[in-house]
Amino acid sequence: MPASQPARNPYLVLGVPFGTSGQEATKAFARQSRRARRGIGPYTLEDLTWALHEIEHGEHDPAADAGLYRVPALPEATAWPSPEAPDPPVRPLPRRTEPRTPQEVEALRGAAAQELLKSALAAVPDPVEDDGDTAPA
């Protein structure tokens, strides 16, 4: 894959679970290529051919498969990307901590302001002391 292209996951392109065998990937390729020829789906035949090659190559050389990113095992994940929804929907996680009190928030703001001031002052160069030997220009 050229460096100018974003990282892609061949398993998602073919719509198969991670670790699928080359034989199963070939079946998925046949299914997806029929759809691509009819103009259905977000992938071209070139994309599908690349994905099949990556999966088959990964079977013969497991080290080549190590660079693939993995996606949570959600059945609906194989529907992405699509022109209507290029990314999965955002799902907020449940809160696991209690909210901060107004006093805690104010203390955090004060500490952050002090840290910011310290770092800003550290970036200011020290003034050069005039020893009186230089004449004004």
Query: Distances from the Cα of 96 to the Cαs of 92, 93, 99, in angstroms?
Result: 12, 9, 9
- Rounded CA gap, 19 and 76, in Å? 17
Q: Tell me, what's the pLDDT at 136? A: 58
The confidence score (pLDDT) of residue 4 equals 43
| pLDDT value of position 28 | 92
CA–centroid distance for 12 within its chain: 14
Q: Please, which residues have CB within 8 angstroms of residue 79's CB and are 6 or more apart in sequence?
A: 85
Q: Mean pLDDT of successive 10-residue segments in the chain (137 residues)?
A: 58 84 91 89 90 82 58 56 63 89 95 94 80 59
Q: What is the pLDDT of residue 9?
A: 82
Instruction: Please name the residue that has the structure tokens 């398993």.
Output: 11
Per-residue pLDDT at 66 = 53
